[in-house]
Amino acid sequence: MIDSPHLHINDWGIRPTLFQIGSFPIPSYSVFVLLGMFVAIIVFALFTRRQNQWHEHSFYILISGLVGGALGAKIPIWIVYYREIISSFPDLSVLLSGRTIVGGLIGGTFAVWAMKKKLGIKRRIGNAIAPAASLGIAIGRIGCFLRGCCYGKQTNLAWGVDFGDGIFRHPTQIYESIFCLILFFYFLWALKKPQKDGVLFRQFMVLYLIFRFLVEFIRVEPQILWGLTGFQYAALLIVVYYIARTFFPSIYGK
């Protein structure tokens, strides 16, 4: 469920440092996560303008989504790893490392909903968020691959990757990056035709979470009950919510 802080293993990861400026190392993870966020913002702005949904409050909605997403991605990490954070103080590397994409999606969704409610905006903008989030995750996961976090279980497949411990593992980061890139192109195709407001965001959440539920079986994550991880239970709940909202909209007053 959680993209945990980096493992303290020498030479762990494919290329944890992308390059150096003098003696200052530039982490691959940070570069690609920030690049993914930057690209997602551009894609969101382009599609909201194309759909005539950009207005004077769009900037506040965008910022609230970014802040809510950042907090949602970090708070579960801080809760789970609070002992490591306390014991490592004043070293902030553990505090600043790690994130959960699912938490970020939930936090960002809730923050956008709250901001829209405060501003009295009823029109949904999820059709622009879907391609933006897909491409942002696809880029960000490259950073996970280079750093060596979020890796998979041992495999004998030809494309297994050794992240530093001599074990060839599923490159689950690349699996997710490819899947999200496919989602991005699907949404590009879908947006060539008129779409009901918000329908693509629901599709994104359902498709992405189903994928993450399945790929979790080959990721190294602790199982909590009946062979499933915490993330898988969270994914099931969210998928059921969006499916119910799609087929039984009267329940939600829509």
In a domain, 2, yes or no: no
User: How many structural domains is the chain composed of?
Assistant: 1
Is residue 6 one of the residues assigned to a domain?
Answer: no
Inside any domain, residue 201: yes
C-alpha 223/C-alpha 216 separation (Å) is 10
Look up the domain containing 51 and give its range: 17-252
Radius of gyration (Cα) for the chain, nearest Å?
Answer: 19
Query: Does 116 map to a domain?
Result: yes
Confidence of residue 197 (pLDDT cuts 50, 70, 90): confident
In a domain, 4, yes or no: no
Is the pLDDT confidence value at 198 over 60?
yes
Alpha-carbon dihedral 158, 164, 170, 175, rounded to 10 degrees: -110
If 0-12 CB within 10 Å is exposed, 13-18 middle and 19+ buried, where does residue 19 land? exposed
| Residue 59 burial (10 A CB sphere; 0-12, 13-18, 19+) | exposed
Q: What is the mean pLDDT of residues 250-254?
A: 52
The per-residue pLDDT for range 217-245, each reduced to its tens digit, is: 998 877 788 888 777 888 888 888 888 87
Extract the tokens encoding 21. Answer: 């400026």
Rounded to an integer, the average pLDDT of 138-167 is: 89
pLDDT of residue 249: 60
Dist. CA 244–CA 137, nearest whole Å: 26
**Hey, what are 38's tokens?**
């930057």
pLDDT-derived band at 193, boundaries 50, 70, 90: confident
Model confidence at 7, in pLDDT bands (50, 70, 90)? very low
Tokens of residue 96, six digits? 């600043």
pLDDT at 20 (0 to 100): 81
Does residue 133 fall inside a structural domain? yes
Q: What is the pLDDT of residues 70-97, one digit of tens each?
A: 666 666 666 666 566 566 665 555 555 5
Judge whether 8 lies within some domain. no
Question: Is 151 part of any domain?
Answer: yes
